Copies of this chain bind each other. A is one copy, B any other.
Amino acid sequence: MTATVSVTTRSRTQMQDITGPVQQAVSETGVGDGLCVVYVPHTTSGITINEGADPAVCTDIIAKLNQLVPANDGYGHMEGNADSHIKSSLMGSSVTILVENGRLVLGTWQKVFFCEFDGPRSRKVYVKVVAERG
């Protein structure tokens, strides 16, 4: 009852629209109404919901995060990805989306974005749907 969505990223920091595969996973559960949780099991990536129409929105989000949390800033964690961990906690490890009639209930402009902060890498995302009433 938990689906896994694979994500392949191409840059160190990148937001990738995964709305399609998440909807696919929801459809396969057969659940009509409930909650969908999209969960990232990594500590140097995150997940968020934002506008998908203009790619500049994602570019702006990434640029601002890079400005507030630069890759090099005297961190104690010596693996070169301390900033990635911090960005991960700022965006969060999961999003929760309502499901009705088997469809994600997203706003007109909303898409689900996997946020890569230490790529490029092969990543995965878990999708689980819990029915509203058993």
The answer on a CB contact under 8 Å between B93 and A95 is yes
Find residues 28-71 in chain A having any chain B CB closer than 8 Å to their own CB: 33-35, 37, 39-43, 48-51, 54, 56-57, 59-61, 63-64, 68-69
Chain A: interface residue count, which band? 35 or more
The answer on a CB contact under 8 Å between A34 and B110 is no
Contacts of A33 in B (CB 8 A): 1
Check A128 for interface membership: any CB of B closer than 8 A: yes
Chain A residues within CB distance 8 Å of chain B: 1-2, 33-35, 37, 39-43, 48-51, 54, 56-57, 59-61, 63-64, 68-69, 73, 75-79, 82, 85-86, 88-98, 100, 105-110, 126, 128-134
